[in-house]
Structure 1
Amino acid sequence: MNRSMIVASNTMNQLQKQLDIISNNMANAQTNGFKKREVTFTDLLAQSFNNQPNKNDEVGRLTPAEIRLGVGAKIAQSQMVLKQGNLKETGRPLDIAFTNEKQFLKVLVNTNGVNQVRYTRDGALSLSPISQNEVMLVNSEGYPILDENNQMITFNRNANQFSISGTGNLSVKLPNGKLQNVNLGIISLEKPQFLEKVGENLLGLPENVGVNVSNVLTELTGPLRNQVSMKQGSLEESNVDLGKEMTDLINVQRSYQFQSRAITLSDQMMGLVNGIR
C-alpha cells in the first residue's frame, strides 16, 4: 500500500465519524433542549525528510527546510455548541425553558444500581406517582428532578396550582391550603467540553474527568441563585440548523468520495506498474 492510499484511508475513517455526528444532530432536530456538536479537524503526525543537508543553500527560505509529508487528517475536537435554541410557548405549568444558555437541570439516574447526577436542558416536566399519597417531579424520560440539595422533589398527590419563578423556585398549593416551595437543582456549565453525552438527552461527567469539578460546573445555590433565568410555560427547541447540517453533510460526502477516488487511482497505478514486463 503506497502513501496516497494510507492518507486517504486514514482520512475516510475520520470523515465517517464526522458523518455520524452530523446524523445525530439531524436526528435530534426536534428534541427539546438538544445541543448540537461541531467537529474540527487537524493533521495527523507528519514525516519530515531532510532533503537539504547544506543549510547555507537555504538562506532566506521562509518555510521549514525539510520536506513534510502528512499521513491524513483526524478529528481534533467534537465540541458541544451551547447556543440558545428558540422558545416555544406551551402554556403548560410544568414546562420550563432556560433563557441562559449555560444552565442545566439536575436529574437523578440509576445505572446498574448506582445513583448518578446527570444534566439536561429538556424542561418538559411531569408528575409520577410513588405512593397512594405522593407524586414525584420527573423529566420526560421519567427520571427524578433534583432540588438544590440533590434531593428528589415530592408533593402530595392532590397538590395543584404549580408556579415556577424565573429563578427556579417551584411553588405548589397543598390540599390544606398551604404552599410548598422548593428550589430546582440547577448548575451553570463553564466547560462543556468535559461533559459527555450519556443518552436520553442527558449529559454527565466521565468517571475520571481529570480536573476539579468546580472548574467544570457551578452549583447555583445561595447568593448565586439570582443568576438562574428560566421561563414557565415554554420549552426550548433544539439549536440544530437543518440547513447548515444538510450543507455539512453534502461536503462530507464529497470529501469521502474524493478520498475513495484517490484509493481507486492508486490501486490502478499499482496495477499498471505490476503489469510492466
Structure 2
Amino acid sequence: MNGSLISASVTMGQLQRKLDTLSNNLANSNTTGFKRREATFSDLLFQQVNNQTVQQEGGRLTPNGLRVGSGARLGETAVRLEQGAIRETGRMLDFAIAHPNHFFEVATNVNGEMVTRLTRDGAFYLSEDPDNPNALTLVTSNGDYLLDGEQQRINIPLNYKEITLSKEGNLTITLLDDTVVDAGQLQLISVIKPQLLEAVGGNHFQMPDLAALGYAEADVFEVVPGDEGNLMQRSLEASNVDMSREMTELLNTQRHYQFNARSISIADDMMGLVNGLRR
C-alpha cells in the first residue's frame, strides 16, 4: 500500500506541472507569435519483486514476480516552433516572419544593462531614440529596441511619411518631401537547437550559457542571410496553440490526476481495513 501511495502522489505532483503548462498555452492562445510548450513524461525508478517459490509455471508467458514502479516524472517541457497563421492587419509597423525557426532580435534593459533577447512578436511601435531626440526608433510593446544587422537601434527621421519593409528585411523611409532613405536591415536569428531557448517572460527568449553547456554559438544559432525573403509587412503571426488539441490534453490530464487521487483513496481504505483486523 505504501508503494501505491508513493507512486500516485509523485505522479500527481508531476501532472500538476503539465496542467500548468497547458494552462499557460491556453492563456496565450491569442498572444502574437507565442510558441506553445509540450510536456512529456518518463518512468521513475522501479524494482522487481520476486515472491514466487515456483520458478516457472506451466503455460506461463509472463516472467515471475512483480515490477513495482515509483510513479512518473515530467521528462521535458519542449517549446514547439510550428509556424502560426499569418494574418494581415494593414498596420505599417506589423511585421511577420514566415519561417518557424527565425526570430527578431531585440535589446532590453536588465538591471541597467542592455542585453539581447529573441522574439516572434512582430508588433512594433515608434518611440523617441534615447541617443537622438530628433529621431525615432522601433520598439516592442514592452519598450525593447528592435535591432538591425549591425545590432544597433533603427533610426527613423521625425519627418517620415511611410516606412516600408521588404521581404529581405530592408527598411526604407519615405519622408514628407517624398525623399527615400535607407534605414538598414533587420537582424534575424535562426535557432538551430530551439530546446536550448529559455523563456524569460514578455514573449521573449534568451540563450543559456553555451560555454557551460559545451556548445559553440555556430551549433546553436546563426544570423539569417538577407536574401531569404521570409518577412511580411502589415501582417502578424498568430499563436501556434491549437485550442481543440490543448483542451483535449487538458481533459485527459485532469482525468489522469483524478485516477491517481482515487488510487490514494483506495490505498488508504485498504490500510484502514488491515489496521482494523483483529486476531
- TM-score, normalized by the shorter chain, greater than 0.5: yes
Q: How does 1:71-150 map to 2 (within 5 A)?
A: 71-130=70-129, 131-150=132-151
Shift of 1:143: 0.5
Q: Show the counterpart of 1:198.
A: 200
Shift of 1:15: 0.4
The alignment partner of 2:75 has SS state of strand
Q: Show the counterpart of 1:30.
A: 30
Match of 1:213 among 204, 217, 220: 217
Q: Show the counterpart of 1:16.
A: 16
- Provide the C-alpha distance between the structure 2 equivalents of 1:65 and 1:109, rounded to a whole number of angstroms: 61
Of 227-236 and 252-261, the range deviating more from structure 2: 227-236
Shift of 1:148: 1.5
Q: Show the counterpart of 1:170.
A: 171
Identity %: 45
- Provide the C-alpha distance between the structure 2 equivalents of 1:53 and 1:150, rounded to a whole number of angstroms: 73
The alignment partner of 2:13 has SS state of helix
Shift of 1:48: 3.0
- Residue identity opposite 1:96 in structure 2: F
Q: Show the counterpart of 1:261.
A: 262
Shift of 1:74: 1.0
C-alpha contact 2:156 2:183 (8 A) present in aligned 1: no
What is the aligned length? Answer: 272
Unpaired runs of 5+ in structure 1?
none
Shift of 1:24: 0.3
- Residue identity opposite 1:71 in structure 2: S
Of 262-271 and 17-26, the range deviating more from structure 2: 262-271
C-alpha contact 2:154 2:183 (8 A) present in aligned 1: no
- Residue identity opposite 2:269 in structure 1: Q
Deviation by residue 1:68-98 (Cα, 9 ceiling, x = unmatched): 3210011111111111111111111211111
The alignment partner of 2:145 has SS state of coil
Deviation by residue 1:178-236 (Cα, 9 ceiling, x = unmatched): 4123110101111110001100000111235612222121111xxx3222401111001
C-alpha contact 1:103 1:228 (8 A) present in aligned 2: no
- Residue identity opposite 2:47 in structure 1: Q
Q: Show the counterpart of 1:234.
A: 235
- Provide the C-alpha distance between the structure 1 equivalents of 2:128 and 2:94, rounded to a whole number of angstroms: 18
Shift of 1:51: 5.7
The alignment partner of 1:227 has SS state of coil
C-alpha contact 1:173 1:180 (8 A) present in aligned 2: no
- Residue identity opposite 2:243 in structure 1: L
Cα RMSD of the aligned pairs, angstroms, is 2.4
Shift of 1:156: 1.7
C-alpha contact 1:11 1:74 (8 A) present in aligned 2: yes
- Provide the C-alpha distance between the structure 1 equivalents of 2:194 and 2:86, rounded to a whole number of angstroms: 22
- Provide the C-alpha distance between the structure 1 equivalents of 2:252 and 2:20, rounded to a whole number of angstroms: 14
Unpaired runs of 5+ in structure 2?
none
Decide whether aligned partners of structure 1 residues 269 and 229 sit closer, same or farther in structure 2, where only a CA change above 3 A counts: same
Of 16-25 and 46-55, the range deviating more from structure 2: 46-55
Decide whether aligned partners of structure 1 residues 66 and 165 sit closer, same or farther in structure 2, where only a CA change above 3 A counts: farther
Decide whether aligned partners of structure 1 residues 69 and 196 sit closer, same or farther in structure 2, where only a CA change above 3 A counts: same
Shift of 1:13: 0.6
- Provide the C-alpha distance between the structure 1 equivalents of 2:176 and 2:247, rounded to a whole number of angstroms: 52
- Residue identity opposite 2:172 in structure 1: S
Shift of 1:3: 0.3
Of 91-100 and 18-27, the range deviating more from structure 2: 91-100
C-alpha contact 2:155 2:183 (8 A) present in aligned 1: no
Deviation by residue 1:8-45 (Cα, 9 ceiling, x = unmatched): 00100110000000000000011001011111111012
Deviation by residue 1:82-119 (Cα, 9 ceiling, x = unmatched): 11111111111211111111111001111112221111
TM-score, with length taken from structure 2: 0.90
Of 173-182 and 46-55, the range deviating more from structure 2: 46-55
